[in-house]
Amino acid sequence: DTAVSQTPKYLVTQMGNDKSIKCEQNLGHDTMYWYKQDSKKFLKIMFSYNNKELIINETVPNRFSPKSPDKAHLNLHINSLELGDSAVYFCASSQGQGMTDTQYFGPGTRLTVL
Amino acid sequence: GENVEQHPSTLSVQEGDSAVIKCTYSDSASNYFPWYKQELGKRPQLIIDIRSNVGEKKDQRIAVTLNKTAKHFSLHITETQPEDSAVYFCAASSAVDSSYKLIFGSGTRLLVRP
């Protein structure tokens, strides 16, 4: 009955590799997000999708490509991984894209690039 | 661009004492201010939020106050308990075209000493 789930929980990989993180929500929400939390715990939005349509793209390098096959899923693919990509990536979802729509976070994926 | 500043970065209190965390925001159009609690290795979880038409909101031991004129809001935790130990994030909504995003503060690590 997990509301927002992500896989994998941990990801360790070499520089230059390509990797994907998957996210699914079973809340029936229309809007999904990707956040990056760096080593200093700073939480910053990367992307948001509403009903499979890209809404927000926060000047993220184009090595990062989100994909939403349906409104319950939002995956994140990262090409040519760099050391600076090491972080915890959180998926989140909300009922809609309104100002007061509560965002529910997934458990996070800790990405370590060696 | 939009910015949310949060203070202090760390806070240590004795069990039973009160804790106060303060945030200021730059976007005068922000109208929604959630607070998230993140325990070690876990996901951020919403603990309380406040909308701009309200000056104060309380939920058991936690309360949030908002001063729109001064563009600052605060989280108050009374009768702190060891399980309150976590990182707390404030956030402010900011409009992006027809959607909204949350701008997070840098977090406050709260330690409640038994």
- With a CB-CB cutoff of 8 Å, which residues 18-77 of chain B face chain A? 31-32, 34, 36, 38, 42-46, 49, 51
Report d(CA A89, CA A38) in Å as an integer: 9
Min Cα separation A81/chain B (Å): 23
The pLDDT of residue B109 is above 90: yes
> What does the pLDDT average to over A75-87?
96
Question: In Å, how far from its chain's centre is CA B108?
Answer: 9
Best of B101, B106, B109, B110 to substitute, by most chain A Cβ atoms within 10 angstroms, is: B101
**Each residue's pLDDT tens digit, A62-71:** 999 999 999 9
- Whether the CA torsion B55, B59, B60, B63 is positive or negative: it is negative
The pLDDT of residue B43 is above 90: yes
The pLDDT of residue A2 is above 80: no
pLDDT of residue A32: 96
> Which range among A3-7, A95-99, B59-63 shows the weakest confidence by mean pLDDT?
A95-99
pLDDT of residue B24: 97
SS3 A24: strand
Number of Cβ atoms within 10 Å of the Cβ of A8: 13
CB contact under 8 A, A55 and B44: no
